[in-house]
Amino acid sequence: MTSTTMTTSTLPSPPTSLTRPRAGIGAAYGRFWRRMPRELAYLALTTVIGLVSLAALRGSFSSAIGVLVFAAVFVVTRYLGLFELRRQRWTGMPDIPAPQWTPPFRGKSFFRVLGDVFGNPHSWLYYLHSGILNPVLAVITTAIWLPWMVVSLAFATTPIWASTSPYGPGATLTLNHAGLVHVTGWTPAEVLIVALGGGVDPVRAAWLIAGLCALGLGMIAAFPFVTRGLTWAHWGLGRLLLARFRSEQLGAEVERVGAAQRAAVAAEDNALRRLERDIHDGPQQRLLRLQMELAAAERRLGPDAGAAAQSIEEARTLAQEALDELRALSQGFAPPLLQDRGLEAALEALARRSAVPLEADIRLTEPVPSPIERSAYFVAAELTSNAIKHAAARRIRLTVTTDPAPTSGGSAALRIVVLDDGVGGAAPVPQHGLAGAAERLAGLGGDLRIVSPAGGPTSVTATIPLPRG
């Protein structure tokens, strides 16, 4: 029996998306600034939409055709709400699942349209949001971000505008015929000093200019936090009124679980069919030939002992080939080593049996249940086998890790990454390895991501959520 050793070859580093260093304070602050233009554009457009909505709402109560205007606003607010959800996603806010709307007019009678529109509670919530509350909130947020932006820019540019007098030399205070004070010959900073009761003092004017400039720069530095907070306020109102109901979410989750179960059944069926075909085309044919050779050896054993010995030798060769092929096929099932010593030992044994140098890096810091261990072994075997058969890879790296739960209410995940230096261009094909692995992962609530540009390298990442402890 030949023995193989695990090769520790050095492969190219995995894609950077797999290992993300923790960002510092400066990088986090930079992300606030990068998102600020989108948030500012969102707030500005929200102001316009809010003012138009308030004008339409006022017209629906004050005009003679107010009922028609109200009905139009009632329908339009549905689309305004959906547009609001898209705009919030565009700013990078968390996704809000929208309710399942039916077309309001297509193929329906007039009274059916009235029943569907006015009888749907989401229609009233969307009207409350886009027709009343969000426009009012838009006025409030505009009264915050617009003055903040104007004042901060004005203060930051104080050294420019406050050090120049547009009136020429001299300084006079006169009263016009209306009794109002008219100032000429003073800079704006000097006017502020006088307003504060300090008289005309150049030193105090310089300190005032510097202070206002520093305040303006500080307000500019804090402006991304202002836009983020105001955007979150609109998001919170949308989450309260525009999201689908919990019962609808539960229905969608039930549908997703049903689809996952159907995908799991389909994956198992395809795997069994593929195994049946492989056994029929490979070991079964060899065993039939083995029977025929042994029968021929039986007939020749008496008169022609030399020919019989040759037939028996061929039969032994065929038996060894059939045994090797059955062992290769058995890798699709959970090996005894997996049950005895766990996933890490089974994957290391898989790496040692590989026909291509395979580096295995297994780091399991979270407990993995036995059913998930079997599925993970099958997925890892399928991905490495696919790289050997179809990628023309010379080196393969198998990385298996457990990622802790991102939040206290989340779940940990088992991550399997197979990286090869083959020809690239990998894609799931129905009834083949990658598609079968994707179906099995779907049955477990996981997913499969393939990055395989032409020319390689190919990175295939399988993620399996682990049950909460």
Q: What is the pLDDT, as a whole number, of residue 435?
A: 78
Same domain, yes or no: 145 and 209: yes
Checking if the pLDDT of 165 tops 60, the result is: no
Residues 152-162, mean pLDDT to the nearest whole number: 81
Same domain, yes or no: 324 and 440: no
Same domain, yes or no: 42 and 111: yes
Residue 220 within any structural domain of the chain: yes
Q: What is the pLDDT, as a whole number, of residue 242?
A: 87
Q: Angle, nearest 10°, between helix axes 188-195 and 202-241?
A: 90
Same domain, yes or no: 30 and 55: yes
C-alpha 187/C-alpha 160 separation (Å) is 11
Q: What is the pLDDT, as a whole number, of residue 172?
A: 52
C-alpha 414/C-alpha 350 separation (Å) is 18
2-24 per-position pLDDT tens digit: 333 344 444 444 444 444 455 57
For residue 1, the tally of other CB atoms under 10 A from its CB is: 2
Of 105, 96, 53, give the one whose Cα is nearest residue 77.
53
Checking if the pLDDT of 188 tops 80, the result is: no
C-alpha 264/C-alpha 441 separation (Å) is 8
Q: Which residue has the higher pLDDT, 83 or 274?
A: 83
Q: Which CATH number belongs to the domain containing residue 395 in this structure?
A: 3.30.565.10
Q: Which of 92-96, 392-396, 440-444 is the most confident on average?
A: 92-96
Q: What is the pLDDT, as a whole number, of residue 174?
A: 54
Contacts of 311 (CB under 8 A, 6+ apart): 293, 294, 296, 297, 300
Instruction: For residue 171, name the pLDDT band (cuts at 50, 70, 90).
Output: very low
Q: What percentage of residues in the chain have a pLDDT greater than 90?
A: 13
The pTM is what? 0.49
Residues 447-467, mean pLDDT to the nearest whole number: 84
Do the Cβ atoms of 312 and 297 come closer than 8 Å?
Answer: yes
Q: Which residue has the higher pLDDT, 368 or 304?
A: 368
**Burial class of residue 255 (count of CB atoms within 10 Å of its CB; 0-12, 13-18, 19+):** exposed
Same domain, yes or no: 158 and 33: yes
Q: What is the pLDDT, as a whole number, of residue 176?
A: 52
Structural domains of the chain, count: 3
Q: What is the mean pLDDT of the chain?
A: 74
Residues 163-186, mean pLDDT to the nearest whole number: 51
Instruction: For residue 225, name the pLDDT band (cuts at 50, 70, 90).
Output: very high
Residue 386 within any structural domain of the chain: yes
332-384 per-position pLDDT tens digit: 555 667 767 888 888 888 888 887 888 888 888 877 777 778 778 888 888 88
Same domain, yes or no: 312 and 429: no
Query: Which of the listed residues 330, 362, 389 is the one where a domain comes to its end?
Result: 330
Contacts of 409 (CB under 8 A, 6+ apart): none
What the block records as the tokens of 406 is 């991102």
Q: Which of 70-84, 133-147, 304-318, 390-404 is the most confident on average?
A: 133-147
Report how far Cα 191 is from the mean position of its chain's Cα atoms.
56
Q: Which of 313-322, 427-436, 455-464 is the most confident on average?
A: 455-464
26-49 per-position pLDDT tens digit: 888 888 999 999 999 999 999 999
Q: What is the pLDDT, as a whole number, of residue 137?
A: 93
Residue 86 within any structural domain of the chain: yes
Same domain, yes or no: 85 and 53: yes
CA 102, 125, 81: angle at the middle one, nearest 5? 65
Residue 389 within any structural domain of the chain: yes
Checking if the pLDDT of 292 tops 60, the result is: yes
Checking if the pLDDT of 144 tops 90, the result is: yes
Same domain, yes or no: 383 and 326: no
Same domain, yes or no: 293 and 343: no
C-alpha 468/C-alpha 228 separation (Å) is 33
Instruction: For residue 169, name the pLDDT band (cuts at 50, 70, 90).
Output: very low
Residues 93-108, mean pLDDT to the nearest whole number: 75
Beta bridge partners of 361: 399
Q: What percentage of residues in the chain have a pLDDT greater than 70?
A: 62
Residues 227-233, mean pLDDT to the nearest whole number: 94
Residue 276 within any structural domain of the chain: no
Q: Which residue has the higher pLDDT, 230 or 199?
A: 230
Same domain, yes or no: 361 and 429: yes
Domain that holds residue 345: 335-465
Same domain, yes or no: 43 and 149: yes
Q: Which residue has the higher pLDDT, 97 or 17?
A: 97
CA 245, 242, 445: angle at the middle one, nearest 5? 55
Residues 146-162, mean pLDDT to the nearest whole number: 85
Same domain, yes or no: 355 and 220: no
